[in-house]
Amino acid sequence: MTADITEKSSTHVADSLSVSALGEDVTSTQPLEPITRKVDHHIVPLMLLCYFLQFLDKVLINYANIMGLSVSIGIQGNDFSWMATAFFIGYAVAEFPQAYLIQKFPVSKVLGINVILWGITICCTAAAQNFPGITAIRVLLGMFEAVITPALIMITSQWYTKRQATPRTGIWYCGLGMGQAVGGLISFAAQHGSVTSSFEGWRIMFLSVGIFNLIVGVVVTFWMPASIQEAKFLTEEEKVVLQNALSNDQGGNGKKVFQMAGLREALMDLQVWLLFLNTILIVIPSGIITTFSATLIRGFGYTTKQSALLNMPSGVVSVSATLMGTFAILYDFPRWLGICILMVPTLIGAGLMSFYTESQAGSLAGIYLINFDVAPLALIYALVGANTQGYTKKVTTNAIIAIGFSIANIIGPQTFQAKDAPDYIPAKITVFGVCGGSILVSIATRILYGVRNRGRTAGARTDVEEIVAGDVGSQETEDLTDRTNPNFYYVY
């Protein structure tokens, strides 16, 4: 409760902030909201597009499998599961190198160049002729896409206060659901578009999406500003107001200098490892559904075209759940409780898939309900952005969470073994178990935040008064972390 009150108080102060940084006699009473709208229009669409494309790139393999990829390149047995796993091996291996690049260079430039590189890789997938070749391509794709989550969390924290960041995280995270839905349409269209016997529909699909990735990568590299100071769409006065709002909110990313203490603290912080564990538990079900949902639906007796279209509602469920979960924060709904509630439909869906297999409709409904599991990860990302302070600690934490994401996606596909076809009961029961575990870890994380905030409760009123008076500035806090800054409060 104290964290939420402090968060709202700080945001209210920031919204009506008076600053004098353009000159000694220049004072701005400009509200923050119009500035935030400008940032929304210039930054959020690009983040949404990047996240949409990286998920679409991953889910294409799902659709390609029902379009004849396995037959074309001679995939047998568990080869498809290993091909899906290869992507996330590359993803995990590249996470800390990508974090180093984010630490050393402007985040937007690192993101844009990686989008270009993974666009080239997607185009190359269309030329794959055998299992080793496509597996190598998937490893490279994972290495380039490893940047996406850490980069977008850093960019969101760079431009928005804690209260503003969660719904914006939800918006760009909706790219996942959009990728599911649009991927179904692309697959359906590509199945009608084979040019020659050697250039099947799935190859057309990869080539088309890869070219679009290249275009978006160029736009991000040269259009998205690297910092608030480089934002041409803001006036000098607006830049000052925004920077002061972030400083007084204890937000932003801090000073872009490597701090060994920040790295060490991230590795030893219980909060980080609870979020890491929860990421694994949440992502295992979504990883299974991302890779195998179209295959499961086809197993119900539908044609490949019908399977592509029937998988589209999964994207609608993902987007709806994400928006509900993240925008509820604007109405002071607890983030941890949102995670727990969103896992309930996922549990029901897992139960329908696991124990109600005699009903085709029930199993299909189970697949759709499991996509509620996508939304809690957006809240985890928002917690990482809001509850870690200090550039090095934030970058390190983002890398750890992204590694958790890749580990879960390595585990998920491996629960699908050829010997368990067509029902894949062990995989479905795994989904059921990890959902319950996520609820328990979310409760433990909430308790940890409460304990940490309790020690700072006595100074809450003084801290807010200091913010109003302008006594808490960026110089005092930019080198601190959430554990060493006495004015920092965890939101939950």
Residues composing the chain: 492
Annotate the chain with three-state secondary structure: CHHHHHHHHHHHHHHCCCECCCCCCCCECCCCHHHHHHHHHHHHHHHHHHHHHHHHHHHHHHHHHHCCHHHHHCCCCCHHHHHHHHHHHHHHHCHHHHHHHHHHCCHHHHHHHHHHHHHHHHHHHCCCCCHHHHHHHHHHHHHHHCCHHHHHHHHHHHHCCHHHHHHHHHHHHCHHHHHHHHHHHHHHHHCCCCCECCECHHHHHHHHHHHHHHHHHHHHHHHCCCCHHHCCCCCHHHHHHHHHHHHHCCCCCCCCCCCHHHHHHHHHCHHHHHHHHHHHHHHHHHHHHHHHHHHHHHCCCCCHHHHHHHCHHHHHHHHHHHHHHHHHHHHCCCHHHHHHHHHHHHHHHHHHHHHCCCCHHHHHHHHHHHHHHHHHHHHHHHHHHHHCCCHHHHHHHHHHHHHHHHHHHHHHHHCCCHHHCCCCHHHHHHHHHHHHHHHHHHHHHHHHHHHHHHCCHHHHHHHHHHHHHCCCCHHHHCCCCCCCCCCCCCCC
CB 248 within 8 A of CB 467: yes
Please give the Cα distance from 458 to 468 (Å, whole number): 18
Residue 276 within a domain: yes
Per-residue pLDDT of the chain (492 residues; tens, 9 = 90+): 444 444 444 444 444 443 333 333 334 457 888 899 999 999 999 999 999 998 888 778 777 777 778 788 887 777 777 887 888 889 889 988 998 898 889 999 999 999 999 999 999 988 888 888 888 999 999 999 999 998 998 899 889 988 888 899 999 989 888 887 887 777 777 666 554 455 777 888 888 889 999 999 999 999 999 889 899 999 999 999 888 888 887 655 556 667 888 889 989 999 999 999 999 998 887 766 666 677 677 777 777 777 777 878 888 888 898 888 888 887 888 888 999 999 888 888 877 776 666 667 777 888 888 888 888 988 998 898 888 888 888 889 988 998 898 888 888 766 766 677 666 667 767 777 888 889 999 999 999 999 998 877 554 444 444 433 344 444 444 568 888 888 888 888
Residues in a beta bridge with 28 = 19
> For the chain, what is the mean pLDDT?
79
Is residue 380 within 8 Å of 401, Cβ to Cβ? yes
Q: Which residue has the tokens 């102060």?
A: 13
Q: Give 80-113 pLDDT, tens digit per residue.
A: 778 878 888 898 899 889 988 988 899 999 999 9
Residue 20 belongs to a domain: no
The distance of Cα 304 from the centroid of its chain, to the nearest Å, equals: 29
Examine residue 18 and state whether it is found in any structural domain, yes or no: no
Q: C-alpha angle 288/290/294, rounded to 5°? A: 100
Report the pLDDT value the prediction gives residue 442, as an integer from 0 to 100: 94
In which residue are the tokens 């928005």 written? 160
Nearest Cα neighbor of 205 from 57, 415, 37 is 57
What is residue 71's predicted lDDT score, i.e. its pLDDT? 80
Q: 14, exposed or middle or buried, with CB in 10 Å at 0-12, 13-18, 19+?
A: buried
**Closest by CA position to 482, among listed 279, 261, 275:** 261
The confidence score (pLDDT) of residue 478 equals 55
Tell me how far apart the alpha carbons of residues 53 and 111 are, in angstroms, rounded to a whole number: 12
CATH of the domain at 272: 1.20.1250.20
Per-residue pLDDT, 434: 86
Helix axes 79-93, 391-414, angle to 10 degrees: 170
In this predicted model, what pLDDT tens digit does every residue of 423-447 receive, in sequence order? 666 776 777 788 888 999 999 999 9
Give the contacts of 184 (CB within 8 A, at least 6 positions apart).
Answer: 63, 294, 308, 309, 310, 311, 312, 315
What's the pTM value of the predicted model, to 2 decimals? 0.78
Is residue 23, in this structure, part of any structural domain at all? no
Instruction: Count the domains in the chain.
Output: 1
Give me the pLDDT at residue 468, please: 38
Whether residue 251 lies inside any domain: the answer is yes
pLDDT at site 16: 40
> Any residues with CB less than 8 A from the CB of 426 and at least 6 apart, and which?
415, 417, 420
Q: Are 184 and 177 in contact (CB under 8 A)?
A: no
Q: Is residue 111 in some structural domain?
A: yes
For residue 131, is it within any domain? Answer: yes
**Residue ranges making up the domain that contains 78:** 2-13+28-477
